[in-house]
A and B are shown apart, each in its own frame.
Chain A
Amino acid sequence: MIRHILQRLLVATIRFLAAGMGLLVLMEFSFLVLAGSKVHLWDATAWGAVPVELSPRPLDWSELLRLRGEATARILLLAVPGSLLIGYSWGIPGARLRRQRAATLLAAPFAALACVPGFWFVGLVAIYSYFHWHRPGFANELVVERGPDLLTWWHAAVVALPALVGAAAWQIRAVAAVLEREVARPWVRGAFIAGANDEEIFYRRALRRSLVPLLDLSDRAIPVLLGSLVVLEPAFRYPGIGSLLVESIRLGSYPGIFFASLFLTALTTIATLMREVLSPPTLSA
């Protein structure tokens, strides 16, 4: 087991380093070839201090990344377990009731909501908050001095909601597809002839046999979810890593762009590593 974990850790480190190199190449190409900049990534002048526009009070890059990372972690804490919970808890009954096309019906509301542009949703929230609470914006200027900081979590939840629905719709369909593939195998017919009923075949045998491929789906939606935050966070003026990336691009800040994109890549790598560690060694290999 320890050997398996170490092996996966090594592979994840190599992949992460390769992805980091890829990001550097993409940045160098975009700055030099497309934008016509004269500054290379390896020039010392490219890696300055945190611009004032990114942080009103003086911070170093590690401090800024920590603050922004904490803000993004709040969204992920709501969106990732939410999408997995909805995906698995709706996808399994969806596959069980496959003759009634339950998976499609259960995924339909989420899939329809996933067609809504997330950046447009911000306008609806702003209009609602203005006309019902008589406050434009998202209560950024309110400081909670006593009790739990519910406003911060409310702000994170509003950003997490459009990110969650798309991931949940995909997860429901993917979970149902794995189980439907399993129950279409020849052994099911054999079990049925042997006298097992539908419930026993599905919940005791098919579900148990599909545990590994179902686990394999657990990290698939995370890169897309993180990608959606790059659009949603600036739209909601949420101070997370996605906002940091977009603001850094607008300012042309090399370290901001690199650290923010590397942070998002690291989160995907961690999710993939966790899935690979939890999977049986034969599957990961």
Chain B
Amino acid sequence: MNRRQSKTTRAVRSAVVRIWQMRKAFLLSIPYFLLLGWLYSGGVEGDIRPGELYGAREIPEWKAPDREHWFGTGPNGVDLFELSRHAMAISVSAAVVAVSLGIGLAALLTSLFVFDLNEGRFDWLGRVTRVSRLVPGMVVLVLFTGISGGSLLLAIAGIAGVVALHFAPVLARWFQEGEEGFDIVAARVLGLSRQEILRSRVLPSVLRRLPGVFATFVPVAVLAEMSLSFLGFTGERLSVGLMVAHGQAYLIEAPWMAVYPGVFATGVVLALSLLGWRVSTALRTGPLPRVL
């Protein structure tokens, strides 16, 4: 009866074990999807220009917050709660794309050096990132997006670049640390090549941490995108930053127009941050540098 299991059975069993090991991360992805689903299920559609919504009118149609309109309405009578939800959906989408691109770019940068046999293979990467860290990330973003007149694509590209430059040395350190364990020495003694060790032993442990990195950086990127839009550097496109900037013109007559979109943004960023901390703790991502 002591029969060897088939390859399929072993593969299924190991997959089940891995899923069980990552159960916390999977469970935490449920509130993520619920939050994103709720943000995207708003009734506002189409290309909305905040300048038109908040433009000065002879007889403003705004209403103070009540049961029907929780956040009140704008000068043309549009519901600010729905508008904030739509704006946050755009900001979160931009942040998700930017952070994904940034992590991918960092992985690409690191992969240029990781298979090098030289001991100091990450030295140049370290030097470049040490110099780039001297320029505050927000300064780079403001220069990149502001000088060119501003657009969402440039903001995404800028955030991705900053994330990549700050995350690449961390990724390099993880690879270096991954090659120092006793199991790696044993694998070398057994005759595995360096590429085999990196692919089969080090890479899975590095990849396992990446969702934690993603979850930690997304709320930071959302805040950065909103800040750029507040400064007017992401073009005339709906964002909570631009809503707050336009709403400040009516701060005395209709304070809800600047205050409530900010409350909404704070709530979403807080929820994303809490989820990010939980995911990074569950996956043991470890400390990450402050990016923006």
Bound-state CA distance A223–B269 (Å) is 22
Q: Kindly provide the distance from the CB of B226 to the nearest chain A CB, expressed in whole angstroms.
A: 6
CB contact under 8 A between A115 and B266, given known A15-B134, A231-B230 = yes
Which of B131, B138, B290, B292 is A18 in contact with, Cβ under 8 Å?
B131
**B83 within 8 A of partner (CB):** no
User: A220 to B135, Cβ gap below 8 A?
Assistant: no
Bound-state CA distance A250–B252 (Å) is 27
Chain B residues whose C-beta falls within 8 Å of the C-beta of A31 in the assembled complex? 147
User: B131 to A117, Cβ gap below 8 A?
Assistant: no
**B211 within 8 A of partner (CB):** no
**B148 within 8 A of partner (CB):** yes
* CB nearest neighbor in B for A230: B138
Chain B residues whose C-beta falls within 8 Å of the C-beta of A23 in the assembled complex? 135, 143
Chain B residues whose C-beta falls within 8 Å of the C-beta of A34 in the assembled complex? 144, 147-149, 154
**A87 within 8 A of partner (CB):** no
**A281 within 8 A of partner (CB):** no
User: B230 to A15, Cβ gap below 8 A?
Assistant: no
User: B139 to A261, Cβ gap below 8 A?
Assistant: yes
**A259 within 8 A of partner (CB):** no
Chain A residues whose C-beta falls within 8 Å of the C-beta of B227 in the assembled complex? 117-119, 231
Bound-state CA distance A170–B290 (Å) is 8
Chain A residues whose C-beta falls within 8 Å of the C-beta of B273 in the assembled complex? 111, 115
From 92 to 151 in chain B, residues with beta carbon under 8 angstroms from any chain A beta carbon are: 130-140, 142-144, 146-149
**A272 within 8 A of partner (CB):** yes
Bound-state CA distance A125–B273 (Å) is 25
User: B248 to A123, Cβ gap below 8 A?
Assistant: yes
* CB nearest neighbor in A for B146: A249
User: A119 to B135, Cβ gap below 8 A?
Assistant: no
* CB nearest neighbor in A for B143: A26
Chain B residues whose C-beta falls within 8 Å of the C-beta of A250 in the assembled complex? 146
User: B266 to A30, Cβ gap below 8 A?
Assistant: no
User: A177 to B270, Cβ gap below 8 A?
Assistant: no
Bound-state CA distance A33–B204 (Å) is 40
Bound-state CA distance A250–B147 (Å) is 8
Chain B residues whose C-beta falls within 8 Å of the C-beta of A246 in the assembled complex? 142, 146, 231
User: B251 to A227, Cβ gap below 8 A?
Assistant: no
User: B262 to A123, Cβ gap below 8 A?
Assistant: yes
**B223 within 8 A of partner (CB):** yes
Chain A residues whose C-beta falls within 8 Å of the C-beta of B233 in the assembled complex? 249
From 112 to 126 in chain A, residues with beta carbon under 8 angstroms from any chain B beta carbon are: 112, 115-120, 122-124, 126
The 8 A CB mask of A30-41 against B (1 = contact, 0 = none) is 110011000000
Which of A22, A27, A35, A249 is B131 in contact with, Cβ under 8 Å?
A22
User: A16 to B138, Cβ gap below 8 A?
Assistant: no
User: B252 to A117, Cβ gap below 8 A?
Assistant: no
**B259 within 8 A of partner (CB):** yes
* CB nearest neighbor in A for B251: A126
Chain A residues whose C-beta falls within 8 Å of the C-beta of B223 in the assembled complex? 115, 117
15 contacts between A and B (CB under 8 A): A15-B134, A16-B134, A22-B131, A31-B147, A115-B223, A117-B226, A119-B244, A123-B244, A126-B251, A223-B133, A224-B138, A231-B138, A257-B147, A261-B143, A272-B134
5 tightest Cβ-Cβ pairs between the two chains A and B? A227-B138, A120-B262, A34-B148, A227-B136, A30-B147
Q: A31-B147, A230-B142, A265-B135 are in contact. List 11 more A-B contacts (CB 8 A).
A: A19-B132, A19-B134, A22-B135, A23-B135, A30-B147, A115-B266, A117-B226, A119-B227, A123-B259, A249-B143, A257-B143
